[in-house]
Structure 1
Amino acid sequence: MRIIKLSAIDSTNSYLRRLGSEFVLDDYTIVSAEKQTEGRGQMGAVWDAEGSKNLTFSVFKDMSMLELDYPFLISIVASLSVFKALEDLNIPKLSVKWPNDILSANKKICGILIESVIKRNRLKSSIVGIGLNVNQTVFNNFTHASSLTLITGQVFDLEILLLAVIEKLKAYFCVLENGEHAILTAEYEKYLFRKDKPSSFKDAKGQIFTGIIKRVSPSGHLQVLVENRRIKEFDIKEITLLY
């Protein structure tokens, strides 16, 4: 395992992707930065993390030996890895907000961005980018954000936390490589935010509606029980779960 530590970079995902285009990367090559100037989240969202107070890192994972019909399993692996690392630290009221945000007491503390390389219709590798709010205490204009320090009152060692997440990531990728997809999906759904509870959603047209999250499909679509007791599937571009 190789860890590349940077003081500042545009994006750890982008840096690792550029590095992979020039060199053959070892499995679990990690890029960690004290500050990202162009940190990204899902759907192009900006990940605004204060320098030197949070974990912002990306992990290269070779997927060439794994025949994976549903790449969303990588998102499940990443979500469970962060969840379990935080659970070991007794962070309270953890949940996974679909597709892969980690919440504590309904506040977002972690975002995950996965970018994969596909060649000849086969998954070759993935870059798992993780942004975890650790010791930051002020979040301007982000009312639903929090950090481990705000939640617990403790200051955390970023290096120890990084290694803890990587340890969980390796363990869950082993489960994936063993083909235990149902186990991973069941555990992910167990921690799913607002599962089986009436919730408000906004669709791509801006319309608000009520539904109940039931499960996630193998392809990663959210399955919601809507009016007339119909199950309807949504991808990430089609639906927003409102807090």
Structure 2
Amino acid sequence: MIHFISDLHLHESRPETTQAFLDYLIGPARQCESLWILGDLFEAWTGDDDLSLPFSARIADALAAVAHSGVQVRILVGNRDFLLGNAFAKRSGVQIVQEPTLLQLGDHRTVLVHGDAQCTDDKRYQCFRRIVRNRLLQTIFHALPFILRRRIASRLRAQSEKSKAGKSMFIMDVNRDAIAALFKQSGAEWLIHGHTHRPAIHEHAEGTRFVLSDWQGKASGLCWNGENLSPF
């Protein structure tokens, strides 16, 4: 059994969702062969020294317990936690995987992404994404004092929420041409992603697209049971 989840946006200000995740990790997740987290596990991640914070350390240790129980835990970073690094992976026992990544679900070649790179109609966001994913700028950012980085991250989150309020839902959704290109490049017939917070199953000419839900105080995702892919 394989579980796919995304967009938990874990943060101290969201205790119900945090507790739902911790409960999930000691319950349903232990029944899986593997668990895929397709981005935005955290609301924000300013670098692996976030592990010095009790909240972040608690989440990492809970994931480590699952990994040590024999579950393979893999993470694709999202737009909120793209600075997850080797120290987090080592402490939590997870494997950080680059997107897009492919796996076989029965007879179905499946491609996994977070989903933000396919929201190409949002030109301002894509420009911002290219800037913050630049390795040199990330190195400079990591060199800043931890407290300053957290302040910058908090300001960027506030600006992001303000920006989203002024954008149409169409702009913030994935672009059909970008999805078609991903299907073509990967050779997949199934696509699983998150980011948009619009859980649904979409049929495209190129294949089937499964959109994961965000977490709002309870566990949510997709389960592959060896034969079918269904929501939980």
TM-score by length of 1: 0.31
TM-score by length of 2: 0.32
**Structure with higher RCO (Cα < 8 A, 6+ apart):** 2
Structure with more helix by fraction: 2
Structure with more strand by fraction: 1
